[in-house]
Amino acid sequence: MCGRFSTNANLDALLELLGVDGAGVPLAEIIGARANIAPSESIAVVVNRAVDADHPRQVELFSWGLVPFWTRAPGKDAQRGRRPFNVRAESLLARPGFHSLIARHRAVVPAAGFYEWKAAADGKKSAKKTPYFLRRADGMPMALAAVWETYADPGSGARTQTCAIVTTEPNAEVRAIHERMPVILEPESLERWLAANEATPASLRDLLRPLPDGALRSERLDESPRAETSRAQTSPAETTKQLGLFRAESFTSRKGSRYSRP
């Protein structure tokens, strides 16, 4: 699974990877330099929603935790229901209820890396788990595959953009720590995944696989990132230092895609 991640990445490489340029929208409002992002928070997402020919790709803020379309059925309450922050690739491909998400609602979550926790060797649930941070071995930022849905509150009509990160079987580096990992899209796969056209699950099956063995590096952490929050415990001085890594002041599409809040 992928329950925490970081966006402390080099923005130039991130923009190149996702086909997005900086122009017009303050960087801190969209991505920021966030060391520990948790489910339910607002996250920056590149979506496959085409506005028109001049705005083929959107960059938006989404709530991390999917409210699927069937939650809108009478008697359903999205605020009380389960909001998965991960969706298994196997479920997207096999379950008819998920087919509309993979067909039309695909997205990418930009990340520098993700956190995972290794269980104790003796398997005891009461034992403290060891945290690890995983990043690409080539130093590039990650493009995490995701799916999205818009939820309209039946009472107020307020609309919320929601999403979940897609997970798959682990490669060798992750397998030593956990049994699942996020789908990390390679640069040559991004155009297919972010294409605005409708796609069949079968046509995208080959993208929903783990990175090859050796593609990731893991770092054991002394303290668990769960002990912090991604924003509140970042000092102004540290935030300024982190933002200096990005060397840009805005983040919109290469052809001028508009930015919108949920």
pLDDT in 10s for each residue of the chain, 262 residues: 688 998 865 656 666 667 665 444 544 556 667 888 889 898 888 888 765 555 556 678 899 999 877 665 545 555 555 688 999 999 999 988 888 889 889 999 989 899 999 988 766 666 788 999 999 999 888 999 999 998 887 778 888 889 999 999 999 999 999 999 999 999 889 889 988 888 888 999 999 999 999 999 999 998 777 544 433 333 333 322 332 222 222 233 333 333 232 2
The CATH number given to whatever domain includes residue 220 is 3.90.1680.10
Per-residue model confidence (pLDDT) at position 123: 63
Per-residue model confidence (pLDDT) at position 83: 82
Number of domains in the chain: 1
Tell me the residue range of the domain where 39 lies: 5-260
DSSP the chain: ----EE--S-HHHHHHHHTEEEEEEEHHHHT---S-B-TTSEEEEEE----BTTB--EEEEEEES---GGGGSTT--TTTS---SEEEHHHHHH-GGGHHHHHH-EEEEEESEEEEEEPPTT--TTSPPEEEEEEETTSPPEEEEEEEEEEE-TTT--EEEEEEEEEE---HHHHTT-S-EE-B--GGGHHHHH-SS---HHHHGGGSSPPPTTSEEEEE-SS-GGGS-TTTTS-HHHHHHHHTTT--SEEEETT-PPEE--
Per-residue model confidence (pLDDT) at position 260: 30
Task: List Cβ neighbours of 138 (8 Å cut-off, separation of 6 or more).
Answer: 215
